[in-house]
């Protein structure tokens, strides 16, 4: 391959894709008119491009199906998240109200009141502990440093 | 409202993201994980900055970065599952031509899977996803001139491999 062929070769992909400037395109046109080697090379690259492009139809179908699954999973997770928020919120309200009523009520013996109070406190400590672990896990998320 | 708009845009570009993730990671589970992460990232941004290029190019860049992260963390060579995809033969073609076309498609699929991730991804972006050089440059974060030379090297590498079959 002489120097002219080598420099034109670098432009052939851009020529095929219509991405060359008018000047470069004309240069390639002029060269391949008189160079059978570069013409053959252009046909070879075109054939490769076409062959890879032919795989696209089936890939597209598979990609659409897989994408649908991903989105369905995302919607399921969102719905599940909303459900959990409602359930947990309702439980908090009901438990809080029950605790408030219990504190105001006259309960005999008083030990029962202390025991229920300890139960509430224990549950609150456990909840805070889980929240702390979640926050820690979030801070060490392996994807947090990935640039967008 | 913003989320609904982003979801609409995601619906259009999602399959392209899957194609890119598959080409880099090689299996559907990893690709699905990457896509879920990418979707979460996109939905968490306040707004898409159009000065950075098209939404498609930006989303593909997010997917690509996630793929690179997974590849680095798992420290394994990506294997492409592209072999499992059959190429549809055109029923009204000459049987011999169809057989030859199938054989060629099979060879191209096999050799495409053997290319380096750098070459494979740029061929996927151009030939599968029909991105122009400027958009590919946005996805790969390189100038259009580099896109042209890299794409040329990728096609040449694939042509060399295919040529070896005679």
CB pair distance less than 8 Å for B104 and A143? no
Q: Please, are residues B121 and B24 in contact by the beta-carbon 8 Å criterion?
A: yes
Q: Pick A48's closest partner by Cβ from B28, B144, B155.
A: B155
Q: Pick B112's closest partner by Cβ from A52, A71, A142.
A: A52
pLDDT for A81: 84
d(CA A25, CA A143): 44
Q: Pick B35's closest partner by Cβ from A11, A54, A70.
A: A70
Mean pLDDT in residue range A96-105? 84
* Residue B97 pLDDT level (bands cut at 50, 70, 90): low
Query: Which residues span the domain enclosing B122?
Result: 88-163
Q: Pick A63's closest partner by Cβ from B11, B19, B86.
A: B19
> In this predicted model, what pLDDT tens digit does every residue of B40-96 receive, in sequence order?
888 877 667 777 788 899 999 999 999 998 888 776 554 555 444 433 334 445 666
Q: How many helices (H) and strands (E) does chain A have?
A: 6, 0
Q: Does residue B157 sit within a domain?
A: yes
Give the chain B residue nearest A55 (alpha carbons).
B87
Q: Give A120-147 as a DSSP string.
A: HHHHHHHHHHHHHHHHHHHHT-TTTT--
The CATH number for B98's domain is: 1.10.10.10
Q: Does residue B82 sit within a domain?
A: no
Q: Pick B155's closest partner by Cβ from A13, A74, A146.
A: A13
Q: Does residue B158 sit within a domain?
A: yes
Q: Within this chain, do residues B48 and B93 fall inside the same structural domain, yes or no?
A: no
Count how many pairs of residues, chain A against chain B, have C-beta atoms within 8 Å: 120
> In this predicted model, what pLDDT tens digit does every residue of B151-162 receive, in sequence order?
999 999 999 998
The answer to whether A57 contacts chain B (CB < 8 Å) is yes
Q: Within this chain, do residues B63 and B38 fall inside the same structural domain, yes or no?
A: yes
C-alpha atoms less than 13 angstroms from C-alpha of B64 in its C-beta half-sphere: 20
The CATH number for B22's domain is: 1.10.1740.10
The answer to whether A66 contacts chain B (CB < 8 Å) is yes
Show residues of chain A in contact with B126, CB under 8 Å. Answer: 17
d(CA B68, CA B39): 16
Show residues of chain A in contact with B127, CB under 8 Å. Answer: 49, 52-53, 56
If we measure between CA atoms, which residue out of B67, B77, B83 comes closest to residue B21?
B67
CB pair distance less than 8 Å for A12 and B88? no
CB pair distance less than 8 Å for A13 and B148? yes
Q: Please, are residues B20 and B63 in contact by the beta-carbon 8 Å criterion?
A: yes
d(CA B143, CA B137): 5
Q: Does residue B83 sit within a domain?
A: no
The answer to whether A104 contacts chain B (CB < 8 Å) is no
pLDDT for A68: 83
pTM passes above 0.80: no
Domain count, chain B: 2
* Residue B98 pLDDT level (bands cut at 50, 70, 90): low
Residue A96 has pLDDT above 90, yes or no: no
Q: Does residue B152 sit within a domain?
A: yes
CA–CA min distance A148, chain B (Å): 5
Point out the domain boundary residue: B28, B44, B74: B74
Q: Helix B95-114 vs helix A36-54: angle between axes, to the nearest 10 degrees?
A: 90
Choose, out of A43, A59, A68, A82, the residue to mutate when testing the contact with B (most B CBs < 10 Å).
Answer: A59
Q: Does residue B40 sit within a domain?
A: yes
- Mean pLDDT over each residue of chain B, to the nearest integer: 81
Q: Does residue B121 sit within a domain?
A: yes
B91: Cβ–Cβ under 8 A, 6 or more apart, which residues? none
Q: Give B61-75 as a DSSP string.
A: HHHHHHHHHHHHHHT
Q: Does residue B62 sit within a domain?
A: yes
CB pair distance less than 8 Å for B105 and A55? yes
């Amino acid at each position: 391959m002489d120097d002219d062929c080598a420099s034109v070769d670098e432009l052939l992909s851009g020529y095929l894709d219509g991405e060359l400037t008018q000047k470069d395109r004309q240069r390639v046109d002029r060269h391949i008119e008189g160079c059978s080697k570069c013409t053959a090379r252009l046909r070879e690259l075109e054939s490769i491009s076409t062959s890879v492009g032919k795989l696209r139809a089936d890939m597209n179908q598979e990609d659409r199906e897989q994408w649908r699954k991903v989105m369905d999973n995302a919607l399921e997770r969102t719905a599940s998240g909303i459900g959990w928020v409602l359930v947990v919120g309702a439980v908090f309200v009901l438990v809080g109200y029950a605790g408030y009523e219990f504190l105001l009520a006259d309960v005999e013996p008083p030990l029962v009141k202390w025991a229920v109070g300890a139960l509430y406190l224990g549950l609150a400590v456990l909840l805070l502990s889980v929240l702390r672990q979640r926050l820690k896990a979030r801070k060490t998320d392996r994807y947090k440093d990935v640039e967008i | 409202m913003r989320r609904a708009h982003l979801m609409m845009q995601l619906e259009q570009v999602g399959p392209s993201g899957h194609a890119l993730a598959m080409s880099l990671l090689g299996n559907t589970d990893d690709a699905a994980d990457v896509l879920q992460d990418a979707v979460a990232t996109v939905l968490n941004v306040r707004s898409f900055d159009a000065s950075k290029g098209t939404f498609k190019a930006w989303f593909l860049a997010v997917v690509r970065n996630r793929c690179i992260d997974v590849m680095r963390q798992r420290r394994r060579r990506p294997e492409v599952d592209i072999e499992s995809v059959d190429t549809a033969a055109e029923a009204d073609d000459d049987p011999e031509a169809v057989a030859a076309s199938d054989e060629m498609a099979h060879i191209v699929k096999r050799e495409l899977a053997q290319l380096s991730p750098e070459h494979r991804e740029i061929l996927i972006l151009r030939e599968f996803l029909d991105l122009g050089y400027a958009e590919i440059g946005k996805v790969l974060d390189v100038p259009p001139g580099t896109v042209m030379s890299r794409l040329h090297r990728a096609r040449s590498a694939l042509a060399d491999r295919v040529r070896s079959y005679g």
